[in-house]
Structure 1
Amino acid sequence: MRKSVREDLISILLAFVCSVGQPVIAHAEDANYHPQDFAQPLSVARGTISPAGGGAFYLKPEDRCNLVVKEFGWDHDQCGTIDQLIFGLTPEIDNLTVEKPVSDGYVSLADWDSSDRNQEISSIEDSFKESVKAQSERSGQEIHFDGWLVYPQIDKGKNILYYANILNWSGERTINISVSIFDRQGYVPIKIVPVNGNVASDDVHKIVAASAAAYKPQAGSSYFEFSSGDRMAGYGALGVLAATLGVKYGGAASAGLIALALVVLKKGAFILLVPLVWLRKLFSRKKADS
């Protein structure tokens, strides 16, 4: 048995601190997490998410809150933005976050079929670039948007909006995959960090398909079950795209998180969440040693 996973965690995080030039984690020595085997469907706010294979695990609410508060500097009240945090849903996925659903009402996808859709996406992309630039300046890190690995698209058969963007963090390539599952009340945001930072676009499509298939809406809440008289959102699919990127578009605005990569603190500082990728391995090793 290894002496302590804490020492591994501290060593990795110290190396990360040296690489980015600023302290990221202050309480790693106090970490005491209890990964749970993901062998049965887990409840989320408006449905369930089921295992897609063996070897996956998740954190219970207290542990995942401790993780983001102690290790990544979130405020405690931000814990409520996470519905489930799952590691290794498939071999290609490092971690997957099911966020609390957005309940602004049924989102019409009609704007996605408009002739100026690509122009609107380009405008949203420009706003995202400006946001990344501003956050880069505030954090003191070189962060750049390097384009789309998978351009934003909608699968109307699955009722999902998804994309994968490429962020360059001080020379390190980071892929962030976003899947928004539309339902009768709004949509459920899912954020995914792949194991391989050089993942190909074809693999992203497979990851998206597996993640969407793992989620099942509760009875009566699927997108297809929309009924006349249901509440309608004041924006369409383009507004959802903007919200998941953390920029304003029409009547939609994000909650302030950008693709699992940044978190906003009360003091206006920004902290990298890259260590989530390493924590999967640490948790796996801890389970093996126990």
Structure 2
Amino acid sequence: MRKSVRENLISVLLAFACSLGQPVIAHAEDSTDYHPQSFTQPLIAARGTVSPAGGGAVYLKPEDRCNLVVKEFGWDRGQCGTIDQLIFGFTPEIDNLTVEKPLSDGYVSLADWDSSNRSAEISSIEDSFKESVKAQSERSGKDIRFDGWLVYPQIDKAKNILYYANILNWGGERTINISVSIFDRQGYVPMKIVPVNGNVTSDDVQKIVAASAAAYKPQAGTAYFDFSSGDKIAGYGALGVLATMLGVKYGGAASAGLIALALVVLKKGAFLLLLPLVWLRRLFGRRKKADG
């Protein structure tokens, strides 16, 4: 029996995940092929580079990753440009890492993170996120719930990153969503990460975040500490970035274009702004059960 595109994709990426030595090319019956590339050299991103963190990782070139999100998640091709790089098996602990196109609203001041009402503001953002999850659950007909923070939102000022890990329950299945934003001179670069192990600890998340952030190097002169008087400054602070990472609006944080994309993606049921490419991990799991 000939394999479907979905089955071919699972076979190819699973083969790489199992560290088979030679590249594999899948030929799908409808000519939509995926050609995973061995990740052995730094990848060029919009405002920096992403370097390998270990052996065995692979990535998809732009056309392949666009075919993936269009076919598997129902995106329109015009939305493919929101992804900068898509890497599988980035480290043994990371199933997949999505580096998104950077936000260029200007230098983001982190001063609001030190304000006395930060906890109250994060609670408000969390409430909005819960409402988004509830709405998505109703639209999709799936039981989806926010089960809290595995790692509460925090900023590492030495690395100039904002990150968190939250827990989403999909019909009784626990899924961890790790998000990192790397601040630079022009705004920030968002990353979304799916861990291999759905039962990771907060210490595991810290290691995953550190490895992911360390792999990204900004272009010369664009790092956060390269800020100079006269540079454009964003109309929101770190709390606004957190809201945007979660796909909810907070003051002037989220651009109209991003909110519009969020609504399109949520209506299609892909949920990618709230959750990375977790479905690939689930496909791997179904494949392993079928082969077992």
Which category describes the TM-score, using the shorter chain as reference length?
A: 0.7 to 0.9
Unaligned runs of 5+ in 2: 12-27, 272-276, 288-292
- Code of the residue aligned with 2:55 in structure 1: it is G
Aligned twin of 2:290: none
Map residues 50-89 of structure 1 onto 2, 5 A cutoff. 50-89=51-90
Residue identity (%): 77
CA pair 151-232 structure 1, distance change in 2 beyond 3 A: same
Q: CA RMSD in A?
A: 2.6
* Residue deviations 1:106-128 (CA, integer Å, cap 9, x gap): 00000000011011100000010
- Equivalence map 1:1-290=2 (5 Å): 6=5, 8=7, 30=30, 31-253=32-254, 255-256=258-259, 264-265=264-265, 268-271=267-270, 273-278=277-282
Q: Does structure 1 conserve the Cα–Cα contact (< 8 Å) formed by 2:39 and 2:59? A: yes
Normalised by the length of structure 1, the TM-score is: 0.84
AA in 2 matched with 1:230: D
Tell me how far 1:32 sits from its aligned partner.
1.7
Q: What's the CA shift string for 1:68-121, capped at 9, x where partnerless?
A: 011211000000000000011110000000000000000000000001101110
Shift in alpha-carbon separation, 1:232–1:280, aligned structure 2, 3 A: farther
Given that 2:161 and 2:181 are in contact with CA atoms closer than 8 Å, whether structure 1 keeps it comes out as yes
What is the CA-CA distance between 1:8 and the residue it aligns to? 3.6
Cα deviation, 1:125-175, whole Å, max 9, x if unaligned, reads: 001001111111111111100000000000000000000000001111110
Query: What's the CA shift for 1:257?
Result: 9.4
Q: Whole-Å Cα distance in 2 between the matches of residues 203 and 263 of structure 1?
A: 32
CA distance in 2, matches of 1:274, 1:211: 17
**Contact 2:148/2:166 (8 A) holds in 1:** yes
Structure 1 239/280 Cα, relative in aligned 2: closer, same or farther at 3 Å? same
CA distance in 2, matches of 1:218, 1:120: 33
Q: Note the C-alpha offset of 1:243.
A: 0.3
Separation (CA, whole Å) in 1 of partners of 2:124 and 2:182: 23
Moved more, 271-280 or 176-185: 271-280
Equivalent residue letter for 1:202: D
8 Å CA contact 1:159, 1:223 repeated in 2: yes
**1:157-196 Cα deviation digits (max 9, x unpaired):** 0000000000001111110000000000000000000001
For 1:123 and 1:201, the matched residues in 2 are separated by 23
Q: Distance in 2 between matches of 1:134 and 1:97?
A: 24
Offset of residue 238 of structure 1: 0.2
CA separation of 1:65 and 1:182: change in aligned 2, threshold 3 A:
same
CA contact (8 A) 2:249 2:259 kept: no
Q: 1: distance between equivalents of 2:179 and 2:234?
A: 20
**Change over 3 Å in CA distance of 1:89–1:183 after alignment to 2:** same
Cα distance between partner residues in 2 of 1:52 and 1:109: 28
User: What residue identity is the alignment partner of 2:280?
Assistant: L
Relative to 1, partners in 2 of residues 1:65 and 1:280: Cα closer, same or farther, differing over 3 Å? Answer: farther
SS at match of 2:153: strand
The CA distance in 2 between the partners of 1:29 and 1:10, in whole Å, is 12
Q: 1:74 touches 1:263 (CA, 8 Å); kept in 2?
A: no
Listed one character per residue, the Cα deviations across residues 24-69 of structure 1 (whole Å, up to 9, x for unaligned) are xxxx864420000000000000000000010000000000000001
Distance 1:7 1:77, change over 3 A: closer
Cα deviation, residue 274, structure 1? 3.1
**TM-score scaled by structure 2?**
0.84
Query: Quick check: 2:163–2:179 contact (8 Å CA) kept in 1?
Result: yes
Q: Is the 8 A contact 1:39 1:54 kept in 2?
A: yes
2:165 aligned counterpart, secondary structure: strand
What residue identity is the alignment partner of 1:166? I
Does the CA contact (< 8 Å) of 2:59 and 2:87 recur in 1?
yes
Going from structure 1 to structure 2, the CA distance change for 1:7 and 1:107 (only over 3 Å counts) comes to closer
